[in-house]
Structure 1
Amino acid sequence: MLVLLDRDGVINEDRADFVKSPDELVFIPGALEAIATLNSRGHKVVIVTNQSCIGRGLITLETLDNIHGKLKSALKAKGGRLDDILIAPDAPWAATENRKPGAGMILEALTRFREQPRNTVLVGDSKRDLQAACIAGCHRILVQTGKGRATQSEGLDRALLPVSIARDLTEAVTFIGEGRFTP
């Protein structure tokens, strides 16, 4: 199975002022171990993340590479790895189809890993994550970390349903392992 993960709010703490340096990347407890569990079960794991901080001129691609280097190193120390990281650097006012809620990054991952939407699940914390996965036809899990609780309390559009709700990435991985995400 292909498992697509949003980054901010799912793997690391979401910041209103963006993650602008490796020091600002603070992992949600259990998230790295959850990714290592997915790896140990043979799943492909890909991050699909909007990074408008690049389009806004707050950081460079080189800085983002350093931030992701910290993520990869910390993950390796826990016995895990990422199969890819796809980013949408677009500012909101210059959005392309890659920027969620567009499905561009998801469709790219499906093509790159030769996977079907029915064999793919996206784990995210925002409505735009769910919208992108819905457009691509993938399974959807909303975590309550990051913006997840607020997203859930605002209510989900019927068009986005069904959506499984997990406390965090650890519980989402349990759902994936047990096949307890909605079709």
Structure 2
Amino acid sequence: GVSGARAGTLTIMVGGPPEAFDLARPMLAAIGKRVLHAGDTGAGHAVKALNNLMSAAHLIVSSEALIAGRRFGLDPAVMLDIINGSSGRSGSTENKWPNYVLTEKFDAGFSIRLMVKDMRLALGIEHATGTPSLVSEAALAAWEAALGELPGDADHTEIARWLDRS
């Protein structure tokens, strides 16, 4: 995301001929600590969309669980400490919840509109490849519902606040 670009720590996924990748790699290394050749033309874009689908699904299910825990009487910070040392951890529990949701900053730097766009692209890949997509479709439906009620430029971490109001 934005903070990774500023810090030069992005993972950059590139698609295209190996020769073009080799030519572009030094320039891309200036903004990313991991520059990876994903495959042929379009592969980098596909990996980005599929990664964002997974990230969105992680964030929404993490948010549902943490909100349920808080309503049950658990401290979300304690829950995160436990979860992040357990099998439920993800980028959402290790970064987004502690840094953007619990702090109520909701400013991770990626809009809900862009997240939904990437999720739709990833779902298109799943459909085109004949991959079962029941969970992906459910996650997209929830994000589209949130997008229908939130401004398109709202930060994607706002999904947690939207869920909490539901």
Specify if TM > 0.5.
no
Q: Going by fraction, where is strand more abundant, 1 or 2?
A: 1
- Structure with larger Rg: 2
| TM-score for both structures, normalised by structure 2 | 0.31
Q: Going by fraction, where is helix more abundant, 1 or 2?
A: 2
